[in-house]
Structures are given as structure tokens and as C-alpha cells.
Amino acid sequence: MRTMRAVRLHEDGLRIEQLPVPEPDAGEALVRVHAAALTRDELTWPVDRLPATPSYELSGVVAGVAGDVRGVAEADEVFALTPFDRDGVAAEYAVVPAAVLARRPRTLSHAECAALTLAGLSAWQGLFDHGALREDERVRVLGERGGVGHLAVQLAGGRLAAPGEPCDLVFDTIGGDPLAAAVGSARRVVSVAEEADGIAYFVVEPNRSQLLELARLAEADQLRPAIDSVFPLVEAGAAFGRVAERGKSGKVILQITAD
Ligand SMILES: NC(=O)c1ccc[n+]([C@@H]2O[C@H](COP(=O)([O-])OP(=O)(O)OC[C@H]3O[C@@H](n4cnc5c(N)ncnc54)[C@H](OP(=O)(O)O)[C@@H]3O)[C@@H](O)[C@H]2O)c1
């Protein structure tokens, strides 16, 4: 039996374990994970299904597909936000629904591609799907150096309101007092960080066509994810320690296979 190293979250914390390489079921692909990105607070998400593999932010190479899968093939270079209700991708291999995989932008490293998945989709869906931001409107991004925030700033382009200027949309990635202070300051307030009265809170969803648009922007040099820090798989504990800190600049990455 082939085995692999994987990060597992247990009741008492994170462990690195040796597990069987999973087999893809109908509609699924097996991906050799090169890089997995991490998000603040994500270890609180799977607590009802422990032990669980964290990280839902993948860049890698397809290593096999189930017999019914079309449009995705072995050796494809892919990136994806993977579903939150099943094991994540902080492992040497991950089985994921083939429908969420998109061709990765070749101008970016695997680490940068992983950094672009959950954070880029959160920024896109916050600004355009939930925020309905138009060309002629102004937006303020709260948390603009963070994983989601720095990509929202780039996607908003010239539509950013200067501090103190009126704006049409606030896109919050912080929650707490900064979000409370922003309620009422714009016609629309959208948050990815916290549910509160008077705001539109949302949970990011996998979306292959939006990922392809993010890849197109990256290849056109109009979007570039920032990497705060990179850790090997065996230092997953330190990586999650860094994710929880203030003062980051972009995303924290687990580099699992060399680029
Ligand atoms: N609902 C969803 O689907 C979804 C999706 C993505 C993310 N999230 C959540 O959204 C949040 C942001 O994610 P992220 O990956 O962007 O996090 P991050 O990389 O840690 O960025 C957070 C940003 O918030 C700022 N910040 C944090 N606490 C602050 C405070 N008390 N006052 C002022 N600024 C503060 C940080 O600024 P500094 O530089 O000053 O530290 C940073 O710019 C997390 O809670 C994450 O779990 C939810």
C-alpha cells in the first residue's frame, strides 16, 4: 500500500501522520500537492469531524482521475479552492472533486497559485458577487495587507476610496471593532470575517470559472498574490502559529513538493 505524509488536526492539536494515499471515487481526481495555503481561524472550522486534514487551498499536478472524469487528466497543472465539508489538502496527495480544479497560471509558482485560490475567490465574490461593485463606485477594504485584503485591493483597481472619503462599499476582512465602526459608513457593507447586523456576511464557494478569470489576470500581470512566509509540511504547527499573528503581508504557505 502506498502511503503519504499528511497534517491531521486532532482534539489535542496538529500531528504529522503517515496515511494511505487516497483513491479517487466517481467525479474525483487525485492531486500531487505542491503547495497548500493556510487561512487565519481555519482550524476552528472542522471541529465536528476530527481528525481532519486542514487547508482547502491547493496547487499541484493531477496524479490520476476516476474513470468518469472528463476535462481533467493526469499531469495537468491545477489549482483549486476545495470544499470545506471534507478533508483538506495539507498532505502529499489529496482527492478532490474534479469540477473544482482549474488550470493554474504558469507565470506564478505553485506557492503563489495556492495563495490565489481561497483568498482570490473571497476577494472576487466579496467585491463583485456580494458587493455588486460597479466601475463608477468607490470601495474601502478593511485589512488591506492580509491574505484576502491585498488581493481585494488589486481587484478593486482604481475604485479605492481614500481614508475619510465617502464610499459605496466597505469590504471587511477583519471583523470586530473595525467592522462595527464601518457599519453605516457606506451604502453596502460586506464581510468575510464576521456575521453582524446590517452587513452581508458570506462564506466563499469553490468556483472554477472565477479561478480561470483570476488566472487570466495573473498571466496578464494584473494580479499578483503576496507570500508572507513558506514552511515545510513537517513545520505545519509553526505555519499555523504564523497565520494567527498580526503584521503578516499576504499568505502563509506549506510547500509540500518543490516547484
Ligand atoms: N467566510 C469565509 O468564507 C472566509 C474566507 C476567507 C477568510 N475568512 C476569514 O476572514 C478573515 C481574514 O482572512 P485573511 O486570510 O485575510 O486573514 P489575515 O491574512 O490574517 O489578514 C487579516 C487582516 O486583518 C487585519 N487585522 C486583524 N486584526 C485587526 C485588528 N484588530 N485591527 C485592525 N486590523 C486587524 C490584519 O492587519 P495587520 O497587518 O495589522 O495584522 C490583516 O490585514 C479570517 O478571520 C478568515 O478566517 C473567511
Give the domain CATH number at 171.
3.40.50.720
Task: Please check whether residues 149 and 177 belong to one and the same domain.
Answer: yes
Establish whether residue 113 lines the binding site of ligand 1, counting it when its CB lies within 6 angstroms of any ligand atom.
no
pLDDT classification of 64: cutoffs 50, 70, 90: very high
**Ligand 1 pocket test, candidate residues 38, 39, 191, most atoms within 8 A of CB:** 39
Q: Is residue 61 located within the same domain as residue 83?
A: yes
Cα 147 to Cα 115: distance, rounded to the nearest angstrom: 8
- Atom 28 of ligand 1, nearest CA residue: 174
The per-residue pLDDT for range 157-169, each reduced to its tens digit, is: 989 998 778 899 9
Give me the mean pLDDT over the 117-138 stretch: 98
Verify that 137 and 89 share a domain, yes or no: no
Instruction: Determine the pLDDT at residue 135.
Output: 96
Q: Are residues 17 and 110 in the same domain?
A: yes
Ligand 1 center from residue 252 Cα (angstroms): 12
Protein residue closest via CA to atom 37 of ligand 1: 143
**pLDDT tens string 4-35:** 999 999 999 999 999 999 999 999 999 999 99
Q: Does the pTM exceed 0.95? A: yes
| Same-domain pairing of 193 and 140 | yes
- CATH number of the domain that residue 93 is part of: 3.90.180.10
| Among 204, 226, 201, 222, residue whose Cα is nearest residue 114 | 226
Q: Inter-axis angle of helices 208-219 and 110-124, to 10 degrees? A: 120
Q: Ligand 1 centre and the CA of 54: distance in Å?
A: 18
Pocket of ligand 1 contains residue 203 by CB under 6 Å: yes
Q: How many domains does the chain have?
A: 2
Q: pLDDT-derived band of residue 185, with 50, 70 and 90 as boundaries? A: confident
pLDDT-derived band at 119, boundaries 50, 70, 90: very high
Q: Which of 162, 180, 201 is the last residue of a domain?
A: 201
Same structural domain, 148 and 246: no
Average the pLDDT over 97-118 and give the result. Answer: 98
Of 23-27, 80-84, 114-118, 181-185, least confident by mean pLDDT is: 181-185
Domain closes at, from 175, 201, 227:
201
- Its sign, for the CA torsion 71, 75, 80, 85, is positive
The stretch 162-184 carries a mean pLDDT of 92
Give 92's Cβ-side CA count (13 Å radius).
12
- Domain identity same for 73 and 186: no
Domain boundary among 201, 217, 236: 201
Same domain, 83 and 196: no
- What mean pLDDT value characterizes the chain? 96
196 with 210, same domain?
no
Residues 139 and 217 grouped into a single domain: no
Neighbours of 2 (CB within 10 A): 9
- Model confidence at 259: pLDDT above 80: no
Assess whether pLDDT exceeds 90 at residue 197: no
Domain of residue 125 covers 119-201
Question: Which atom of ligand 1 is least distant from the CA of 244?
Answer: 20
**Element housing 203 (H / E):** none
Within this chain, do residues 134 and 20 fall inside the same structural domain, yes or no? no
Residues 225 and 143 grouped into a single domain? no
